């Protein structure tokens, strides 16, 4: 794959693994579109990438991924540039220790970790299809193995647990990735766009410390490595619907299944007012 000026959107690029991912992709020669919620943090990363590459990166995207309205505005802003999107890295995520609601009334883990990438991916699909070989990369976690989806309680109203909400939304990432891959393959128009999920490793981040009360054994750069591999490596040209860890395809947990993937996709399309692919 020609790394000459690929355009890559990285969500949650102002901290942790997302920031390391943005830096690594910029070093590969990509034009990285930095996403973040805080304008000040976004500008700091944009300046960092400018210093790293010697050129200004594309205009960033500033949006609160808890807000469907903000996501729609960010999607429209990117598409209005008329620029093909080579890669979307859905990296942003939260771990909530207490149940809180988004502006749209959804539990925040569900809103940010699942509904946000679901909606943003669909909003940017036109730009992904316009690229020669678009890629969607979903940052999940090995925690998905502990997830269990209650389709009657997607907002975790009953017996909220931060760990259960996080694990379940990381499971949703894998299910969405798989169902998206299936739908993209089914259409000649979008068949060249791939969708894969990954486990980044156990990395010492704010999320790991606050959510799990522990430090990891992987560095931030190691945590970014599989996202970067799926974004730019020629080794994964045409690979879709797979789950990766440490740059290699691996089997996801047995809780991942096509029935739940389809059901989750259909429910999510309704909740985000998205026309299904």
Return the residue matching tokens 């943005």: 22
Residue 197 and residue 257: Cα distance in Å, rounded? 14
- Nearest to 199, CA basis, from 259, 244, 229: 244
Instruction: Map residue 213 onto helix, strand or coil.
Output: coil
177 and 261 Cβ atoms separated by less than 8 Å: no
Residue 275 and residue 158: Cα distance in Å, rounded? 30
Residue 207 and residue 230: Cα distance in Å, rounded? 22
- State both tokens at 209: 């410390």
197 and 191 Cβ atoms separated by less than 8 Å: no
β partners of residue 34: 10
Listed in sequence order, the residues at least 6 apart from 155 whose beta carbon sits closer than 8 Å to its beta carbon are 105, 106, 107, 110
Instruction: Map residue 5 onto helix, strand or coil.
Output: coil
- State both tokens at 134: 């678009």
Return the residue matching tokens 């990766």: 244
- Catalytic residue numbers read 166
- Nearest to 78, CA basis, from 4, 10, 150: 10
β partners of residue 203: 218
């Amino acid at each position: 794959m020609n790394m000459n000026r690929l355009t890559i959107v990285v969500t949650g690029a102002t901290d942790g693994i997302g920031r390391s991912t943005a830096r690594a992709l910029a070093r590969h020669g990509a034009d990285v579109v930095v996403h973040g919620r805080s304008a000040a943090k976004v500008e700091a990363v944009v300046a960092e990438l400018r210093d790293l590459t010697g050129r200004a990166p594309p205009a960033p995207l500033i949006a609160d991924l808890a807000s469907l309205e903000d996501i729609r505005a960010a999607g429209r802003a990117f598409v209005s540039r008329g620029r093909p999107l080579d890669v979307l890295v859905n990296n942003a995520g939260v771990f909530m220790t207490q149940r809180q609601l988004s502006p749209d009334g959804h539990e925040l883990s569900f809103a940010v970790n699942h509904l946000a990438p679901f909606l943003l991916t669909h909003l940017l699909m036109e730009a992904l299809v316009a690229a020669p070989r678009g890629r969607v990369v979903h940052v999940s976690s090995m925690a998905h193995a502990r997830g269990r989806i209650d389709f009657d309680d997607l907002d975790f109203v009953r017996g909220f647990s931060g760990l259960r909400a996080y694990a379940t939304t990381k499971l949703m990432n894998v299910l969405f990735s798989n169902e998206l891959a299936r739908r993209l393959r089914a259409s000649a128009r979008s068949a060249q766009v791939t969708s894969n999920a990954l486990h980044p490793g156990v990395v010492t981040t704010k999320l790991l410390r606050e959510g799990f009360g522990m430090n990891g054994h992987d560095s931030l750069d190691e945590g970014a490595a599989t996202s970067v591999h799926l974004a730019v490596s020629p080794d994964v040209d045409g690979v879709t619907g797979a789950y990766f860890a440490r740059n290699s395809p691996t089997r996801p947990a047995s809780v991942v299944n096509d029935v739940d993937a389809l059901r989750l996709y259909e429910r999510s399309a309704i909740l985000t007012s998205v026309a299904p692919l």
